[in-house]
Amino acid sequence: MGTDRIKNNRRKFFKTSAALIGGTIAYSLIKPLEVISQVEDKPKTTDNKELPLWGMAVDIESCVGCGKCAEACKIENNVPEEPFYFRTWVEQYTVKNDGEVKIESPNGGIGGLKQSVPDEDIFKSFMVPKLCNHCSEAPCVQACPVGATYISPDGVVLVDDSYCIGCSYCINACPYGARFMNPITEVADKCTFCYHRISEGLVPACVEVCPTDARIFGNLRDKKSDLVKFLQKNPTQVLKPHLNTHSRVFYNGLSSEVR
């Protein structure tokens, strides 16, 4: 009597477990249910080794802060002329003798940066061009609720103008302040490495006009490219490395003051 009850219970237990396991497997196999389960573990699209992987190096030691890059970017990409819309801009960092750091970027550096601190108070001063860092683990892409911003197969963070709903979550998510709301299109706007140019074999407009070659653009997979040579020659850093964004814009001569 007692053994029978145990046997029956055991049988029931096995039946239930088998049904549960079988159900789980079936659930994961049925295709339409994928949308509910949200189980997706595809390889990254940038893993295709045949495509280029675009990146940029910025040489702070050569930048003279003329602002030609910021100006060229605005012309090339129809960015509004008002001084608070920039895809790329140049900042001047001035470390004073008392240790205070002054950061200024009037009109994004367009028209040339001018030093506002008297020379005798300056400990050191340098210019830092800024742009979208084209992160491999981009916070803006994660924040977008509709999939309107993404990392293209060749490693450029792009915006889908026609699909963006203009919620500006990505603008808040970007730790580099590289995004802005375009007042004309009313969608998020950002540096695309001049995607229309690089896919035709040209360099981005900012790289084209730089009079001191402070910006080096190229394919990170091409070991003979100027960019890879520059990265091998100089000790470079990325901005905000503690955020693990794995950005593809590398700075040479970056001081700890730069934020």
Partner 1 sequence: MPKIIFRLFLSFVLFVSIFVLIQRFLTPDSFGKYGHYRAYSIDDNKARVSYYKGEEKCASCHEDIFDLKDSDLHSEVKCESCHAPKIDANTDCEVMPPIVEGTIDFCGTCHAINLGRLKKGAPQLNFKEHKEGQNCIECHNAHAPWELTE
What is the binding site for partner 1 (CB under 8 A)? Answer: 32-33, 35-36, 42, 45, 61-68, 71-72, 75-77, 92-94, 111-115, 119, 122, 125-127, 147-153, 158, 160-163, 192, 194-197, 199-200, 202-203, 205, 208-213
Q: How far is the CB of 19 from partner 1 (least distance, A)?
A: 15
In the bound state with partner 1, the residue whose beta carbon lies nearer, of 191 and 249, is: 191
In the bound state with partner 1, the residue whose beta carbon lies nearer, of 6 and 35, is: 35
In the block, residue with structure tokens 């375009």: 182
Q: How far is the CB of 80 from partner 1 (least distance, A)?
A: 16
- Spatial contact of 101 and 93, defined as CB atoms under 8 Å apart: yes
Q: How far is the CB of 2 from partner 1 (least distance, A)?
A: 32
Distances (CA, A) of 146 to 10, 142, 164, 182: 49, 10, 7, 18
Q: How far is the CB of 220 from partner 1 (least distance, A)?
A: 19
In the bound state with partner 1, the residue whose beta carbon lies nearer, of 82 and 200, is: 200
Q: How far is the CB of 133 from partner 1 (least distance, A)?
A: 18
CA distance 53 to 82: 32
In the bound state with partner 1, the residue whose beta carbon lies nearer, of 34 and 222, is: 34
Q: How far is the CB of 112 from partner 1 (least distance, A)?
A: 3
In the bound state with partner 1, the residue whose beta carbon lies nearer, of 9 and 202, is: 202
In the bound state with partner 1, the residue whose beta carbon lies nearer, of 121 and 222, is: 121
CA atoms within 13 A on the CB side of 39: 11
Q: In what order do the strands lie in the sheet with 215-219?
A: 215-219, 54-59, 249-252, 236-237
- Give the start-end residues of each E strand in the chain: 54-59, 88-96, 101-104, 122-131, 149-151, 157-159, 180-181, 188-189, 215-219, 236-237, 249-252
Pairing of strands 101-104, 88-96: antiparallel
Q: How far is the CB of 217 from partner 1 (least distance, A)?
A: 13
In the bound state with partner 1, the residue whose beta carbon lies nearer, of 100 and 213, is: 213
Distances (CA, A) of 4 to 9, 16, 38, 171: 8, 18, 44, 67
Q: Is 170 exposed, middle or buried (0-12, 13-18, 19+ CB in 10 A)?
A: buried
Phi, psi of 52 (to 5 degrees): -70, 160
